[in-house]
Structure 1
Amino acid sequence: MIEYETRYHFSQERFRVKYQIFEESKRAKEIAEAICVEQTIEFPIELTGNSIRENVVGKIEEIQNNHNSTVVTISYPVETVGNEPAQFFNVIMGNCSLFPNLKIIGLQLSPSIENIFPGPRYGISGLRKLLSIYNRPLLATAIKPMGLSTDQLAQMAYNLALGGVDIIKDDHGLADQPFSKFKDRVLKVTEAIHKANRETGFHTIYAPNITSNEQTMLKQAEFVKEAGSGALLVSPALSGFSSFITLRENTDLPILSHPAFLGGYLSIMDFDVLFGTIQRMIGADVVIFPNYGGRFTFSKEDCRKINHGLKKPFGSFKEIFPSPAGGMNIDSCGDIVSFYNKDVVLLIGGALHKAGADLTENVKAFKAQVEKIHVR
């Protein structure tokens, strides 16, 4: 029988992935052993020699049996990834994303793996410095709804900026559409916000949505920078993690990450991994996600995990802002700040419009409400 061997000299540097397997202990161990092979050689193990089994195949480092699941830590050699972020995701949960009852709940990167990810350019401290806001939550809103003309959206942005909101983003549904072309919207909304800033002395920035293919995003990011908008909005699950990374490496603007299309990934990754550590790795500065109590189904525990993943010590990656959203209102700001602490971007959209016809006054009320909150 053939036994294949590797001639490569492996460094023995390994990174670790923690999986939760929702099976009884015996079956969970069988699945863990299958993961070790499936995520590396994807080949009959009996046809490989010791050099491949010891140096290439994943290794089970720890098994913890819980009441209704088993937590398994598996290590992989860094050589299985090389220098490609996409290959990292392929190794940690490629084919096995098709397995039922399996989820990643933790990552422990080695130095070589950490170095292939750019991480946030700004993070919490950098974005605060950029906006010169140090002792309170950041305030954000969005221009919407889809279907409005560029002039209508620009007027809306002007009114919002007059009230003193810190960040105005495109709704993630705005793209390059016939009712509001991308370049026209970026120029007019940016100018409207700049006009408001000149009148108020505030420093509101604008984050146009540039979610697209890599080539288009790079061109649009450069256009946004030249226009002086100040930031970018991208949905990484739509653009792809690798394209998001390329964008981060080629722009010096802060990037807001939107959760569109990410929901399906929750079947294979826990909240703090998907919305926390991975977002820091790929280079987001602000992560938008559904808050508990909104129109989505995220619980307080889910959001606690996300907040932890965004701010816990994790290699050399900077802490980044959570931005809980999805049906929030002005009256809920106190609870939100109490839960996330002052390092949070309060994103309120439709509720600012529901509060009355005068958007400027509504933003002022929003800001006043936040300034009354005792922050920590």
Structure 2
Amino acid sequence: MSSGNLPRTQHPELFRWSPALDPADYVQARYSVTSVHDGEATALGMAMEQSAGTVMIRGYVAPEQVERWTIRVLAIEAQAEPPASGLQPYQLATDVYAEQQQQAQTWSVTLAIPRVLVAGKAAQLFNVVVGELPRLGFLTRFRLEALALPEDFGPGPGFGVAGIRARLQRPQGPLLCRSMRPAVGLDADTMARLNRDVLEAGYHLVKDDELQVFADNHAFRQHVEAMVAARDQARATTGERKGYLANLICEADELAERWDIIKTLGVDGALVAPALQGFSTLSMLARERRMPLLAHNTFSDLLTRHPGWGIEHAVLCGLYQAFGADWIVTSGEYGATDGVGMEDAWPFGRPQRAMPILQGGKHPHGLPAYRAAIVSDDYMLIVASWVDGHADGLPAAARAFRTAIDAQLPA
């Protein structure tokens, strides 16, 4: 339909919920939108935009052909006016029928989306649940607030909390990880020494930084070989299982070979960036069940931080889990020692399937707050700055952090 206007339909019943429909055949999505049209017109327009907006063409299309494919409006509720900063609406100069515009109002709209329309596929899910809705000229704010996926939607984590713990032989307590800093400009030998020293001092695992860049797959292989060797040396020295996660954030034509490289070399896990590489990339790798996958947040915060436009962080985390993430990065303020984020519930219930990651300014004194935020010890801490700049040096700081973690474990 025209992105600026609302269409007229002679069969609005095809876009309204009916008791005759089976809820199990639908995925429910709830949106908070501000519109210059009334709630019903807005909701019907959204449903038509993302499904079979054309239901009748004489001699070609009949309503009964598309009725199982149409999105249905489940609920419409008026909401309090949001703060200022919405976009300006627009209307295109076309012959498409348009409702009379009114003063913008905010609505909670719940849509029932046919499962056949999303086909259980990651890219198609985003194509339908969000798609071109933010382009609609009559919407001045748009936020996907909830998405209720069936339990069997997507492959889910291949390993999750239990599998990660089994692979690292760490049955309890938070996992301590250092991201490789500086991400650029450092030779492989020095990076390998950093990894070895921090692992031997007590860290459970290390990970490539998302910003590390490799000229080609040969350079990537050389890097991974050096990091795996450092991990193995730390294992031999400490007698503990240590882990290394490799960076798979790369171009599409590089991915298959890099995936083969890290499988061959025995890497313990991999970073992917669903917001850059696509959720279907995460899903594709997860279905192999070869190693735990970390869904990195690079680029995705652009989708979640603005209160008027985007996707709720909890919804995005749920999608990461559904499509195969074993580790998921929590929002930036999560677990902050000043209490910011303490009221937010980790969105997977108890016990968690995927393992949450806390990062950014974390230190040993914050451990009680981090545990309170997650409501368990099933999380990973990524800590670099605290040990890198410690007055006693990196190895001593790493030992101190590990000691603090072990001290809080049950006897």
Counterpart residue type for residue 332 of structure 1: G
Alignment partner for residue 378 of structure 2, among 340, 343, 354? 343
Q: Does 1:236 align with 2:270?
A: no
- Unaligned 5+ segments in structure 2 are 1-8, 15-20, 82-105
Partner deviation per Cα, 1:274-320 (whole Å, 9 max, x = no partner): 1x21010111100124431799xx9516x824x2x24468xxxx711
Counterpart residue type for residue 358 of structure 1: G
RMSD over aligned CA atoms reads 3.0
Counterparts in 2 of 1:151 and 1:224: CA distance versus 1, 3 Å: same
Alignment partner for residue 14 of structure 1, among 20, 26, 33? 26
How far is 1:41 from its partner?
A: 2.2
Match of 1:103 in 2: 143
Contact 1:294 1:327 in 2 (8 A): no
Counterparts in 2 of 1:70 and 1:143: CA distance versus 1, 3 Å: same
Match of 1:203 in 2: 241
**Structure-to-structure mapping, 1:147-162, within 5 angstroms:** 147-162=185-200
Q: Does 1:41 align with 2:52?
A: yes
**Structure-to-structure mapping, 1:80-91, within 5 angstroms:** 80-91=117-128
C-alpha distance in structure 2 between counterparts of 1:326 and 1:15, whole Å = 35
How far is 1:18 from its partner?
A: 1.4
Q: Is 29-38 or 242-251 further displaced after alignment?
A: 242-251
Contact 1:154 1:189 in 2 (8 A): yes
Match of 1:217 in 2: 255
SS in 2 for 1:19: strand
Match of 1:281 in 2: 322
How far is 1:177 from its partner?
A: 4.2
C-alpha distance in structure 2 between counterparts of 1:42 and 1:166, whole Å = 53
SS in 2 for 1:250: coil
Contact 2:334 2:358 in 1 (8 A): no
C-alpha distance in structure 2 between counterparts of 1:83 and 1:338, whole Å = 35
Alignment partner for residue 79 of structure 2, among 56, 63, 66? 66
Counterpart residue type for residue 42 of structure 2: I
C-alpha distance in structure 1 between counterparts of 2:213 and 2:285, whole Å = 17
How far is 1:162 from its partner?
A: 0.3
Contact 1:162 1:200 in 2 (8 A): yes
Contact 1:330 1:348 in 2 (8 A): no
Alignment partner for residue 209 of structure 2, among 171, 178, 195? 171
Contact 2:178 2:205 in 1 (8 A): yes
Contact 1:258 1:289 in 2 (8 A): no
Match of 2:5 in 1: none
Counterparts in 2 of 1:127 and 1:59: CA distance versus 1, 3 Å: same
Counterpart residue type for residue 270 of structure 1: E
Counterpart residue type for residue 269 of structure 1: I
Alignment partner for residue 366 of structure 2, among 318, 324, 332? 332
Match of 1:261 in 2: 299
Normalising by structure 2, what TM-score? 0.78
How far is 1:96 from its partner?
A: 0.6
Partner deviation per Cα, 1:38-88 (whole Å, 9 max, x = no partner): 111244889875425642221111233333443221112222123532112
**Structure whose residues are more often helix by fraction:** 1
Q: Does 1:125 align with 2:162?
A: yes
How far is 1:151 from its partner?
A: 0.9
Q: Does 1:56 align with 2:69?
A: yes
Q: Is 351-360 or 259-268 further displaced after alignment?
A: 351-360
Partner deviation per Cα, 1:212-255 (whole Å, 9 max, x = no partner): 23442232122112212211111111111112211222351111
C-alpha distance in structure 2 between counterparts of 1:250 and 1:135, whole Å = 27
Normalising by structure 1, what TM-score? 0.84
Counterparts in 2 of 1:312 and 1:33: CA distance versus 1, 3 Å: farther
C-alpha distance in structure 2 between counterparts of 1:97 and 1:197, whole Å = 50
Contact 2:320 2:328 in 1 (8 A): yes
% same residue = 21
Counterpart residue type for residue 31 of structure 1: T
C-alpha distance in structure 2 between counterparts of 1:28 and 1:365, whole Å = 57
Give the paired residue count: 354
C-alpha distance in structure 1 between counterparts of 2:354 and 2:66, whole Å = 39
Match of 1:304 in 2: 344
Alignment partner for residue 224 of structure 2, among 166, 186, 196? 186
